[in-house]
Amino acid sequence: MRRAISNKTIARSNEEFELRRGPWTLEEDKLLTHYITFHGEGRWNLLAKCAGLRRTGKSCRLRWLNYLKPDIKRGNLTPKEQLLILELHSKWGNRWSKIAQHLPGRTDNEIKNYWRTRVQKQARQLKIDSNSHKFLEAIRCFWMPRLLEKMAQASSSSSSSSSISTMETQNLTIPSQLSNQTPINEKSFPSSYSSDSTQKSQVFDILKNPESPPAQSFGNTGYSNSVLDDYYQVDISNFDMECFNNSVISTQGSGDFSFSERHISDWVNGDMGPTFWDMDELWQYRMAEEVVGV
DNA sequence: AACCGAAGCAACCGCCTACGG
DNA sequence: TCCGTAGGCGGTTGCTTCGGT
């Protein structure tokens, strides 16, 4: 009997110290949030013990930073956020946390997931290495222009003074440090991007100086209530590759891409091959033809 | 309605670095 | 200088959800 009780006690003791894994429960979230609210972050292992959580310190830290922290922004990435990710990734590569510093409310994990699920998916479908120059060039020439156009369109719909048409986006050149052939400068922005030079230069500053403190980045800091937010805060559900809708892109000269009147005309007349209402189809079709050279 | 594959994402793992003793 | 620990980061895994058949 004594031995039975002893074994039971030992078993319970082991159970008590056994670390939990897997999805967090509501109760655990409450414990962690409550503890941090009153005691602050840091000393994660100690925090886990004191809060009564059977989790590793690492696990607690991750849960807090990626999910529970009050300023975490949920929902789809806006076009401007996507653009910034593309731009910063071209500069820094997989430095997710560094990139995340410039997207207030977004976590490195979220950005990493976005890159892997959305961006790398396209590379896989095209059978090209997502780290290759070819793919980076494709992003610069195809994806980014569409994001810019989408943002401009959104701004034009909210502001009667600035309008943008597809035709106006001809010869669009994307600011990027990805390629040396396209040095970043303020003139790189389409003229139709904004009639307000102040707005244009603010966007330019962020892309040009990503090293600047996050406080000067997008979102609710620095430029809070700035034109940037009014200008680019677009809530477009599931917006990413569908940004290519209606777009027709051609190659010109030394690898620079621009919208061409001829292709627009072709598109209007329905001579553009696959139905371009399907984004993946468009992407694969045009990329295979223009970039991969198939 | 059931099944299945793909996509999305939360969580974990392992490695690296910084720091204090 | 070495060692142990904590924290941070990028890569990977696996569960859940969604959409198609």
**Residue A63: which CATH number?**
1.10.10.60
The total domain count for chain A is: 2
d(Cα A291, Cα A293) in Å, to the nearest integer? 5
Do both A279 and A232 map to the same domain?
A: yes
The pLDDT assigned to A48 comes to 84
User: What residues approach strand C to within 7 A at the CB?
Assistant: A 22-23, 42-46, 57-58, 61, 94-98, 108-109, 112-113, 116
Count of CB atoms situated within 10 Å of the CB of A81: 25
- CA A157, C1' B8: Å apart? 31
Residues A49-67: tens digit of each pLDDT: 888 888 888 888 888 888 8
Phi, psi of A122 (to 5 degrees): -65, -40
Beta bridge partners of A256: A252
Do both A245 and A182 map to the same domain?
A: yes
- CA A128, C1' B13: Å apart? 28
Residue A111's H or E segment, with its range, is helix A108-114
- CA A34, C1' C10: Å apart? 29
Q: Which residue has the higher pLDDT, A185 or A97?
A: A97
| A24: CB within 7 A of chain B nucleic strand | yes
Mean pLDDT for chain A overall? 57
Bases of strand B lying below 7 A from some protein CB? 7-14
Closest by alpha carbon to A65, among A42, A89, A95, A45?
A42
Q: Which residue has the higher pLDDT, A171 or A280?
A: A280
Domain boundary among A68, A89, A104: A68
| Mean pLDDT of all residues in A225-234 | 33
Provide the domain limits for residue A160. Answer: 79-292
Count of CB atoms situated within 10 Å of the CB of A1: 5
On the question of pLDDT at A216 being above 80, the answer is no
